[in-house]
Amino acid sequence: MGSDQKRALIAVVISGIFLFGWQKIYSPVQEKKIAREVVNSNPENLEQIDPTKAKQLNSRDITLLEQNNLKVSEFNLIKDGSFGRISVNNSLSINDFESPKALFNFGDVVGKSFGTSFFVEMNGVKKRLILTKNLENNGKYETNLPDVYVSLFQKDNQPRLEIISKSPVRLSIELNSSSDRTDNGHFRKLKTYHNGEIQELEFGDDDALISNSEWFAIDHNYHIFALVGSKSRSFKATSFEKGLIKIDLNEPSTLYGFDLFFVKKNYDYLVGLNNGLNATIEFGFFGFLAVPILRMLQFFYEYFPNYGVAIIILTLLIRLFTFPLQYKSFKSMKKMQKLQPELSKLKEKYQDNPQKMQAETMELFKRSGANPLGGCLPMLLQMPFFFAFYKVLSAAVELVGAPFIFWINDLSTKDPYFVLPVLLAIVMFGQQKLTPSQTADATQQKVMMFMPIIFGFIMKDLPSGLVLYIFISTLFGILQQLYVYKKTD
């Protein structure tokens, strides 16, 4: 088998691995159904009861009660304020969080089986915190542990949870949820933040993380639920396959305070908080370009109140802005296209003498003024703009629930009828026909013909706003390429 055929076979194998690997990694994750026993009644009812006898009222509740033979009092704390409404039961498990700054239900973001648990280490023994008595009717509670108190109140328009101890203790937090992937490719993760850097653990993974952090946030589907502390603390977080993440804070303290946030990841709002939560919006390496692109997208939306139209206008604008670079690239492609017949003759003539073929090929390039790499540098220089736009459309909460036209009712989710992915595959075929092949080998050319199909298949589950951008960019790129080819002839 010749070297060209070997390379073609390798290309097919790699494409297959990539295709099926993608499908495997991003296939929907089956959410585990875990029954949770909860209780809920008046805050003044302090009777201790066995949770196995309590009726189930909320599936997003505390975990490991039965495993640890813990008892729970029958009351549920509901706090109302400008932040919305938060419901916390006496074991400090957050049952619900209604926020005017969120688009989705709390359970859809953190998971139907979500539960929070707080443990305090005293004299080398870790014990779970359970509220036992409302001390002053102002949000301060006595707990099952001596000299340890809990306060739940509103501060600066945010619910705040404080754990106070007369002597320094170590705190552990357990977050129980389930692994999940949305149609737009968002996984449920725990994110931490220190010195401008984000680290993360995915729910359902078997992994660990040792670092420092100012806060701990569950990030999923354009939303975050965060416990934001007043300072950075060292910790160890361990993720288990069953969906539990344990966070052990290393430094003992007499006061642990957390502001509680449940909000959509709106960039402007998160930046205004000045606590680093905006870092949960992943703009990638080209973030310095992504933010201006987001601003321009918002600008066009003000005048054309349709984010699909705004995406099209901004795509065309970026294509025009980078056209001088594309012009050189297309011009170089055209020259290479004209040389293909002569290159094929040289390959056939000197197939047994590679060194002579290379020398003759370089001489042909020199005579014609063509540069086989002439189209590469301009393309590389414009890639940061396209990557930045790609990241903006992958992360922008503005697209959530934003309709475009006819069948596309939400630009943050996949095209329900796969019209855009099919159109994208078609225009990619057209672009492929215009681009000169780098090989005369028929087998490799046939393999390359399948690339638009593979790419279209990959795009079918991505947000329709993202596919719209790539489709318009490719289509307009073809028109620019035809213009340059016509002018060059």
pTM, full prediction = 0.75
Q: Are 393 and 469 in contact (CB under 8 A)?
A: yes
The closest alpha carbon to 57, from 37, 87, 35, belongs to 37
In this predicted structure, what is the pLDDT of residue 136?
Answer: 67
In this predicted structure, what is the pLDDT of residue 200?
Answer: 94
In this predicted structure, what is the pLDDT of residue 369?
Answer: 64
- Residue of higher predicted confidence among 74 and 79: 79
In this predicted structure, what is the pLDDT of residue 52?
Answer: 37
Q: Are 164 and 171 in contact (CB under 8 A)?
A: no
Q: What share of the chain has pLDDT > 90, as a percent?
A: 43
In this predicted structure, what is the pLDDT of residue 139?
Answer: 77
pLDDT for 29-67, tens place per residue? 333 322 222 223 333 332 333 333 333 333 333 343 333
pLDDT for 428-437, tens place per residue? 988 887 766 5
pLDDT higher than threshold 50 for residue 253 = yes
pLDDT for 364-385, tens place per residue? 777 766 666 555 655 676 788 8
Q: Residue ranges per domain, the chain?
A: 3-26+287-488, 48-275
pLDDT for 198-232, tens place per residue? 999 999 999 999 999 999 999 999 999 999 998 99
In this predicted structure, what is the pLDDT of residue 355?
Answer: 81
Q: What share of the chain has pLDDT > 70, as a percent?
A: 76
In this predicted structure, what is the pLDDT of residue 65?
Answer: 39
Q: What is the dihedral of CA 381, 385, 391, 392, to 10 degrees?
A: 170
Segment holding 157, helix H or strand E? none
Q: Rounded to an integer, what distance in angstroms lies between the CA atom of residue 156 and that of residue 474?
A: 48
pLDDT higher than threshold 90 for residue 344 = no
Q: Rounded to an integer, what distance in angstroms lies between the CA atom of residue 107 and that of residue 218?
A: 12
Architecture of the structural domain at 48-275: Distorted Sandwich (2.70)
Determine the average pLDDT of the residues in 318-339: 75
Q: Rounded to an integer, what distance in angstroms lies between the CA atom of residue 409 and that of residue 120?
A: 48
Per-residue pLDDT band at 70 (split at 50, 70, 90): very low
In this predicted structure, what is the pLDDT of residue 227?
Answer: 97
Q: Rounded to an integer, what distance in angstroms lies between the CA atom of residue 257 and that of residue 229?
A: 6
